[in-house]
Structures are given as structure tokens and as C-alpha cells.
């Protein structure tokens, strides 16, 4: 069962999603919240795998709420505003539903979430690599990932998320140490306990942070600061 909550400041919309969740055999409703602030309190004491989140809410909108989660969860956005769709996928949402939502569309999104959830329950991934690419297991598939296509790698508890140039991120059950051992040392560097970066994709560094895509800030921790600074010094044109 996938443990779910729904968040929406519109009571009728909230009850509709609650009804859809209860009608879906593999979903388990754990709570209903009328604001993102209520959801923050609920998540402190409730185990949740998947959230159905409205975006346009007072105090803290759904998009900012999801971006600031300490532990990323599976998310389906449910909103009346189509212009948020692109931003929704940029934060790796499973899906994006436009109101009014039919059960047919809801079930389609729920099945996508189940595919992600099931993939995350797999045994640890096997990984093989050569000088230009690696193979990993993800969502019941073996994927080839070219080193040149990797922007950075993010740790997520027992999983990693590989952020790519050409497609959506790839998530797999693998440790940072395991993938770090397969990456070319002259092309990749660990700069934080939770981040490995592709050195060739760095374009902006600001205040000990590496900026990707204009709005992703990756910190350089003290543990890795000296090594990273040595790399910058060697390639700095003065």
C-alpha cells in the first residue's frame, strides 16, 4: 500500500481527492490538510510515500512547500492553473492534474506513482561502467547513462537521483560511494555529502555554491572545500 495525504485549501476539492484515494485499492489515505503548514505538522508524525498537492494556497503555496521538503516524497500536483505544469516537472513531480479532475485521470496519475514507488522498493541496483558511460537499473529497466549527460548526482537516503541534461532525472537504489567509485575522477567530484558534480558542467560559482540551471544551488561543504578550490585554482585564468 502507498501511504498518501492530500493537501488543498478548497474543501470540496480536498474531499474529491480523498474519495478517489479511498476508491483506489493500492492507496492508503493517511491524512487531509487544508494548507501546506498543516501538512508540515502532519509529516512530522506520519509516514507518507505520496502527496496530492494543490499549488495555489495561502501562506505557503504547494510548489514552494514541495521544493523545501527535507525528505523528498512522490508528488502529484492538482491545480486549476495550467501555467504551473512546467515548473511542476522541474521539481520532479510524478504527474500534474488539472481541475476539475476525473477519476480516470486521477487513476492514471496514481498508476504512475505506483510505478515509481515499486521501482524504489527493488533490491539495490547493479552498476557497470566504462570510460564514457555507465549502466544502472532503474524502474525495472537497465539504462545507459553517458557521463557527458550527467549534470550532478544527489543523495536521497538509500537512493540517488542522477540529474541529466537531456531527460528527466533518474532515480535508483544505490549509495553515493558506489557510484562515485565508477565515475572518472578527472571529470566528477564530490563536493558535499549529498552531491557529486560533473566538473565540465559548472558555469557559475557563488559564495561556495555551484549554481545549475539558474535556480539549483549546490553547497560545497568544508570537508570537500580544499579539493574543490584546488581544482578551481588550477583552471583559473588571472
Q: Where are the domains of the chain?
A: 2-120, 127-234
φ, ψ for residue 67, nearest 5 deg: -60, -30
Round to whole Å and give the CA distance between 5 and 3.
Answer: 7
Amino acid 82: pLDDT: 62
For residue 68, the model assigns a pLDDT of 84
136 — pLDDT class (breaks 50, 70, 90): confident
Q: Could you give phi then psi for residue 174, rounded to 5 degrees?
A: -160, 145
What is the average pLDDT across 152-166? 89
Beta bridge partner(s), residue 53: 7, 77
Could you tell me if 21 and 32 are in contact, meaning their C-beta atoms sit under 8 angstroms apart? no
Residues linked to residue 189 through DSSP beta bridges, in sequence order: 197
pLDDT score for 85? 47
The dihedral sign for the CA sequence 58, 62, 65, 71? positive
Which backbone phi and psi does 33 adopt, to 5 degrees? -130, 140
Place of cell 578550490: 229
pLDDT number for residue 139: 66
Tens digit of each residue's pLDDT (9 = 90 or more) over 104-126: 999 999 998 988 787 666 655 55
Q: CA-to-CA distance for 219 and 91, rounded, in angstroms?
A: 18
pLDDT of residue 140: 63
Give the residue, 33 or 144, on which the prediction is more confident: 33
Please give the residue that has the higher pLDDT: either 224 or 69.
Answer: 224
Higher pLDDT, 85 or 44: 44
Tell me: domain 2-120, CATH 3.30.413.10, correct? no
Closest CA to 78 of 3, 170, 16: 16
* Secondary structure class of 198 (helix, strand, coil): strand
Query: Any idea which architecture 127-234 has in CATH?
Result: Beta Barrel (2.40)
The predicted model gives 3-25 an average pLDDT of 96
The alpha carbon of residue 9 and the mean position of all alpha carbons in its chain are separated, in whole angstroms, by: 24
The alpha carbon dihedral of 1, 70, 159, 52 has a sign of positive
The crossing angle, in degrees rounded to 10, of helices 11-22 and 103-120 is 60
What is the DSSP secondary structure assignment for residue 92, as one 8-state letter? Answer: T
Tally DSSP H helices, then E strands, for the chain: 7, 16
Amino acid at each position: 500500500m502507498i501511504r498518501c495525504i492530500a493537501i488543498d485549501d478548497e474543501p470540496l476539492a480536498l474531499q474529491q481527492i480523498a474519495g478517489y484515494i479511498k476508491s483506489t485499492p493500492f492507496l492508503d489515505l493517511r491524512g487531509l490538510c487544508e494548507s501546506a503548514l498543516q501538512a508540515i505538522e502532519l509529516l512530522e508524525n506520519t509516514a507518507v510515500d505520496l502527496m496530492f498537492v494543490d499549488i495555489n494556497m495561502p501562506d505557503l503555496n504547494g510548489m514552494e512547500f514541495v521544493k523545501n521538503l527535507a525528505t523528498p516524497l512522490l508528488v502529484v500536483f492538482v491545480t486549476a492553473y495550467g501555467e504551473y505544469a512546467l515548473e511542476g516537472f522541474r521539481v520532479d513531480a510524478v504527474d500534474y492534474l488539472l481541475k476539475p479532475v476525473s477519476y480516470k485521470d486521477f487513476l492514471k496519475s496514481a498508476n504512475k506513482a505506483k510505478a515509481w514507488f515499486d521501482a524504489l522498493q527493488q533490491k539495490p541496483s547493479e552498476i557497470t561502467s566504462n570510460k564514457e558511460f555507465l549502466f544502472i537499473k532503474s524502474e525495472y529497466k537497465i539504462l545507459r547513462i553517458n557521463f557527458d549527460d550527467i549534470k550532478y548526482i544527489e543523495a536521497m537516503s538509500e537512493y540517488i537521483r542522477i540529474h541529466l541534461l537531456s531527460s528527466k532525472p533518474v532515480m535508483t537504489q544505490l549509495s553515493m560511494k558506489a557510484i562515485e567509485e565508477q565515475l572518472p575522477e578527472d571529470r566528477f567530484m564530490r563536493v558535499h555529502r549529498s552531491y557529486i558534480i560533473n566538473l565540465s558542467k559548472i558555469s557559475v560559482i557563488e559564495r561556495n555554491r555551484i549554481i545549475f540551471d539558474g535556480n539549483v544551488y549546490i553547497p560545497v561543504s568544508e570537508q570537500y572545500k580544499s579539493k574543490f578550490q584546488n581544482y578551481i585554482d588550477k583552471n583559473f585564468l588571472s
